[in-house]
Amino acid sequence: MNKIKNLCFFSFIGSDNLGDEAVFYSMITNFKNTNHHLSVISTNPDKTKKLLKDLDIRKLKIINVKHNLNVIKVIKKSDIFICGGGGIIQDQTSIFNLPFFLSKVFLAKFFKKTIMFYGIGVGPLKSRLSRLLTKIGLNFAEIITVRDNKSKKILINCGVKEKIINVTADPAISIKKSLKKEISLLTLNKKINSEKLIMVICLRHWFDTYRFMPVKLVKALDFQTKKDKKKYENFINEISKFLNYCNEKLKYQLIFLPFWINRDNKVHRNIIDKLDNKKDIYLLNKEYSPSQTKGIIQKADFVLGMRLHSLILATTSKTPFIAINYSQKVRNYLKMLFSKDSLVDKISVNPENFSSEELIEKLNFILKNNTFTSENFKKNFKKLLKKEKENFIYLKEVINK
């Protein structure tokens, strides 16, 4: 019989970002019937308790990341420190992200704990200091699983030992639809007609990032350069024209689904304000669980997705999509699904340089060519599902040592 271990989980857990919650939920579901003692370091313990309520994990402790003394105690008491998943090893949104996550890794190393990075995304790493911190921090790990090939290459270029890096897939790929708490379309809004076409739109703020300031401060100050303001205006205008076409010509009902309510719905409202017709337009303003969100996307006929995990949940729901390729991680994911760059380009757009006509052209291409039902797509998706299972297989190997 294997010894019962103390496992400590740390990532962007308890955040307002549904994508990060989906990753963690998928990870922790593997421990539903475990005898191991689990400790979770969360930015919002109440939110994390609510997320995990249905799993009924017996030996679970949730610690507030702001309570430094408790964080130190729980890491010191743990046998294994698990960092991830999600895109935590990057300095694109802020140079302060990486030190925040790696500080706990350094603490785990100080207490001589076994360390694993689980299903993480890596990059961009723009500064020399970020690359140095990555080299030091990730070489402390016994094993690292990354969600795409590009992440592995970046780590190797930083000087992380290749033998400890394994390419798997994003943990959220294994999210299942909630059967207990399934959301009906009528629950979302009584006017939604399940007999008519539905397009789900999942956009995000982007043209307001400034990497030399903490993200919270950028949001509080509503900071935006003149150049970024112009890019944002063009983004809103072109998306609005495209959605006007989908709503009026193709008769899609438009459901705006936020993955980070306060941030995403600011963008969604800016677009809705520019739509010619307000009929069959629905803005969701409530937090749903990852599995409920998958259920909503599964009811759609099409998704316009900018958030990476909106695309992942669309994939697992077999719902076709156009991707707004705002970050390397989106393209990395699309490459794993479609293999060829030429095909990736036909189902995605660059948010800084696109037109409504281009979006319409890509929509027509996808619908005409059955891109998301091709044998190649099915084969690659099946491979991704199998690769995702390897995340937990590697973790079990670490636990059972």
Q: What is the pLDDT of residue 300?
A: 96
Query: Of 167, 196, 229, which residue constitutes the final position of a domain?
Result: 167
Residues 6+ apart with CB under 8 A from 103: none
pLDDT band with cut points at 50, 70 and 90 for residue 220: low
Contact 117, 394 (CB under 8 A): no
Query: Of 139, 167, 195, which residue constitutes the final position of a domain?
Result: 167
Same domain, 109 and 220: no
Same domain, 298 and 150: no
Taking residue 233's Cβ as centre, other Cβ atoms within 10 Å add up to 12
Same domain, 266 and 375: yes
Look at the alpha carbons of 149, 176, 17, 141 in this order and tell me if their dihedral is positive or negative.
negative
**Model confidence pLDDT, tens digit, residues 172-218:** 999 986 655 667 776 788 889 989 999 999 999 888 765 566 666 66
* Number of domains, the chain: 2
- Whether 399 maps to a domain, the answer reads no
**Model confidence pLDDT, tens digit, residues 95-128:** 889 999 999 999 999 999 999 999 999 999 999 9
**Model confidence pLDDT, tens digit, residues 351-361:** 999 999 999 99
Average pLDDT over residues 134-157: 98
Same domain, 161 and 196: no
Which CATH number fits the domain that encloses residue 203? 3.40.50.2000
Share of the chain above pLDDT 70, in %: 94
- Whether 124 maps to a domain, the answer reads yes
Average pLDDT over residues 317-340: 95
Q: What is the pLDDT of residue 208?
A: 73
Same domain, 290 and 358: yes
**Model confidence pLDDT, tens digit, residues 348-397:** 999 999 999 999 999 999 999 988 999 999 999 999 999 999 999 999 99
Using CA atoms of 373, 20, 385, 9 in order, give the dihedral in degrees to the nearest 10: 180
Smallest Cα–Cα separation from 108: which of 150, 79, 69?
79
Q: What is the pLDDT of residue 1?
A: 45
Contact 14, 44 (CB under 8 A): yes
Query: Of 138, 167, 196, which residue constitutes the final position of a domain?
Result: 167
Q: Is the peptide bond preceding residue 214 cis, with omega within 30 degrees of 0?
A: no
Distances (CA, A) of 185 to 137, 192, 195, 293: 46, 6, 11, 12
Rounded to the nearest integer, the mean pLDDT of the chain is 93
The C-alpha atoms of residue 255 and residue 265 are separated, in whole angstroms, by: 12
Q: What is the pLDDT of residue 213?
A: 60
- Whether 33 maps to a domain, the answer reads yes
Q: Is the peptide bond preceding residue 87 cis, with omega within 30 degrees of 0?
A: no
**Model confidence pLDDT, tens digit, residues 265-294:** 999 999 999 999 999 999 999 999 999 999
The beta strand positions in 281-327, using DSSP E, are 281-283, 302-305, 321-324
Same domain, 213 and 104: no
Range of the domain at 323: 185-383
The C-alpha atoms of residue 105 and residue 99 are separated, in whole angstroms, by: 10
- Whether 138 maps to a domain, the answer reads yes
